[in-house]
Structure 1
Amino acid sequence: MKGFKYIVLIGVLAIVGYLVSDLFFNDESYNQAVAKFRENKDLTFRSLSASPLSDSLRRKFNKLDYFEPNRDYEITADFTPEERPEPIAMEMTGGTKEPYHVKGKATFELDGKEHTLTLYQKAGATSDSLFIPFTDQTNGFDTYGGGRYLDALPNGSNIVLDFNRTYNPFCAYNPDFVCPMPPAENRLKVKIPAGEKNFK
């Protein structure tokens, strides 16, 4: 009987060890994927043809500034599709408007409160990825004052909002660019210290 108890105990410890190592491995893999995503963006910013930076800034550019990856901000939200027959006119930083289709809403909980974001797709876009311009309470402090963007792909009734991959609009780096402004319904009353920080 005593030997049997030892076998059971060893089995339980092995399972716990596997779960802990699997969790660590998943987090490590996730962090590596986010780091690669950021490295690729830095490479783009150094390139002559694709960078939004002016030539003088590009020549001395090293890398963008980010919050450390935090999986608390990789959030699985409820996705409610919404198809409107006509596109809405989204305000742009240059005072113009461009057509975007409303594709649905993402509802999630953060810091004990429920939040909702409207998801868009630019008129004429061929990708299934949805565009989420938003502001939060880090804007103007740690992050760009005009808000940030996020892309996400629905999966049935869910959608993963990975705020670790949020990015700044091009007009954050160069005033010559015209960028979509986050609509009023996407102004979150919560801090999201994740993703790209303010460009300095």
Structure 2
Amino acid sequence: MKRPLRLIIYAGIALVLFYFVQETFLSDDNYIKPLMQERADKDLTFRGRTNSPFTDEDRRTFDSLTYYAPDLAYRVQAQVEQLPQQDTLHMPLTDGNTDPYLRYAIATFELQGQPQRLTLYKKVNPEADEEEQFFVPFTDKTNGFETYGGGRYLDIPFEEDAETVVLDFNRAYSPFCAYNPDYVCPVPPQDNRLDIPIPAGEKTYEKNSK
């Protein structure tokens, strides 16, 4: 067998294995069910007194948050380019103040056939018990229509010198100020404003009027 033909066959086998592995490890049992359980657990937390962002009155009528159906097209692997100069951004807050975040790296990826990029931030002054992670506030073309107008967030596990990260937009969530204006939330900065819709993750919360 000629070498180029052999390489083509190997490439075809590798492609088949890739899709097989993706379907196997991102199946209902391995991806969808845990994701749905996370959403159910969040609803349960929001109904409780301790960690709910709702007022007592709204909490009593709260039923559940609404989401887009899980879509693996919006779970993407992004290339990470660590910034040579990691400057501090004083990210605006909804009350007019700012909070310092480190501009740590740029994540580049493709969605809807278009190249995209998001800045990965790290909190400068995290709480003592706060898990080390990347904070990714972003806006997209669904904001103000199907999702919260102020944008949504992603939390990404932090790994030193990571070359790739998984951006799972099925886990995109709204800030607490989407449910209660008394909360203060970071406003997604200019460099994280996507010019495409991201129909994945949490939708706009509609208050239950019962």
Larger Rg: 1
Provide the rounded CA distance (Å) in 2 between the counterparts of 1:52 and 1:108.
33
2:184 counterpart (153, 178, 196) = 178
State how 1:12-23 maps to structure 2 within 5 Å: 23=23
Amino acid of the structure 2 residue aligned with 1:92: L
Contact in 1 for aligned 2:100/2:125 (Cα 8 Å): no
Q: Which residue of 2 aligns with 1:192?
A: 198
Provide the rounded CA distance (Å) in 2 between the counterparts of 1:199 and 1:64.
6
State how 1:1-200 maps to structure 2 within 5 Å: 23=23, 26-29=26-29, 30-82=31-83, 84=85, 86-125=87-126, 127-153=131-157, 156-200=162-206
Contact in 1 for aligned 2:52/2:59 (Cα 8 Å): yes
**How far is the alpha carbon of 1:43 from its aligned partner?**
1.2
- Structure 1 consecutive aligned stretches of length 4 or more whose deviation exceeds 3 Å: 19-22, 83-86
**How far is the alpha carbon of 1:161 from its aligned partner?**
0.2
What residue ranges of structure 2 are gaps of 5+ in the alignment? 1-15
TM-score, length-normalised on structure 1? 0.85
Amino acid of the structure 2 residue aligned with 1:43: L
Question: 2:23 aligns to what SS in structure 1?
Answer: helix
TM-score, length-normalised on structure 2? 0.81
Contact in 1 for aligned 2:86/2:104 (Cα 8 Å): no
Provide the rounded CA distance (Å) in 1 between the counterparts of 2:22 and 2:188.
38
Provide the rounded CA distance (Å) in 2 between the counterparts of 1:63 and 1:133.
23
Q: What is the RMSD computed on CA atoms of the aligned residues?
A: 2.0
Q: Percent identity?
A: 46
Question: 1:94 aligns to what SS in structure 2?
Answer: coil
**How far is the alpha carbon of 1:123 from its aligned partner?**
1.3
Question: 1:99 aligns to what SS in structure 2?
Answer: strand
Amino acid of the structure 2 residue aligned with 1:122: K
Amino acid of the structure 1 residue aligned with 2:152: R
Provide the rounded CA distance (Å) in 2 between the counterparts of 1:85 and 1:23.
38
**How far is the alpha carbon of 1:44 from its aligned partner?**
1.2
Deviations 1:7-40 (A, max 9, x none): xxxxxxxxx9xx8698256321210011011111
Provide the rounded CA distance (Å) in 1 between the counterparts of 2:150 and 2:136.
14
Amino acid of the structure 2 residue aligned with 1:166: A
Provide the rounded CA distance (Å) in 1 between the counterparts of 2:133 and 2:102.
12
Question: 2:90 aligns to what SS in structure 1?
Answer: strand
Contact in 2 for aligned 1:153/1:160 (Cα 8 Å): no
Which deviates further from its counterpart, 115-124 or 156-165?
115-124
Deviations 1:72-117 (A, max 9, x none): 1010000112264552210001111111111111100011111110
- How many pairs align? 183
Provide the rounded CA distance (Å) in 1 between the counterparts of 2:22 and 2:66.
29
Question: 2:110 aligns to what SS in structure 1?
Answer: strand
Cα 1:25–1:186 shift into 2, 3 Å:
closer
